[in-house]
Amino acid sequence: MARREKDGFWVKTAAAVFYPITWLGRRVTRGTERVPRQGGAILVFNHISHLDPVIDAVFVHRLKRVPRFLAKDSLFKIPVAGRIVAGAGTIPVYRGTANAGDSLRAADEALRAGKIVCIYPEGTITKDPQYWPMRSFPGVARLALTHDVPVLPIARWGTQAILNGYTKKFRPFPRKTITVYVGEPVDLSQYRAEGATSNVTLMRVTELVMTEVKKLLAEIRDEPAPKGFFNPKKAEG
């Protein structure tokens, strides 16, 4: 039996807060055996609700690993909650600032140390009206091509029915089912061998990974996924 990864005071504190919240939904998990019990890995999630980080953190922690999430820097400014997530090893993302590269450097260090890094490439809750993944940022591709670690696509469904980030509706009852489905590691050997990190390559790898996430989500939802990815900038224009 695999030992639990060493966590510490702040991770235990976060667990004490997060675990009860997950009782809002019935858990259904698939493919958990694909998450490595030791060593570095990148877990790539879709993002449909503000509840997702709580559900996903507990999901990883139940597998005896400590998740290191990339999260907006604004989260760290929230009293109490900011201290907990910082102490638990969450990595702040500073988009559009002079500190923007710090998040990837911190993620690099975590992966080199054999940690689990969790990322939402969409950057925020999807703006797709039907909750499919939208156009994503290439940070996940930079990490995936820099480190020879498993890159696992993970789809989650059900959290949006409990907490809808855009309508602000919170509906805990009746109790919903939350499904988390871990797919096979994405084969990036060709891109890693090429060693190319052009913007075109980064976007291609990002779309490849998110397409796998979308396929898993389509399987959970039992309906065909749309072609391509929703582009919020075009929709706003």
**Three-state DSSP class for residue 26:** strand
Q: Which domains are seen in the chain, by residue range?
A: 24-236 (3.40.1130.10)
Task: Give the neighbor-by-neighbor strand order of the sheet with 41-45.
Answer: 25-30, 176-182, 151-157, 41-45, 116-119, 67-72, 91-93
Q: What is the pLDDT along the chain (237 residues), one digit of tens a residue?
A: 568 898 899 999 999 999 999 999 999 999 999 999 999 999 999 999 999 999 999 999 999 999 999 887 777 777 777 888 888 888 888 766 555 567 788 899 999 999 999 999 999 999 999 999 999 999 999 999 999 999 999 999 999 999 998 888 999 999 999 999 999 999 999 998 887 788 999 999 999 999 999 999 999 999 999 999 999 888 765
Closest residue by Cα to residue 166 from 137, 134, 129: 129
- Cα 60 to Cα 23, 164, 183, distances in angstroms: 16, 23, 14
pLDDT at 100: 56
Q: Is the peptide bond before 174 cis (omega within 30 degrees of 0)?
A: yes
* Residue among 210, 218, 69, 209 at smallest CA distance from 157: 218
**pLDDT at 212 (0 to 100):** 98
Residues 6+ apart with CB under 8 A from 63: 32, 35, 37
Helix ranges (DSSP H) in 124-196: 139-146, 159-162, 189-194
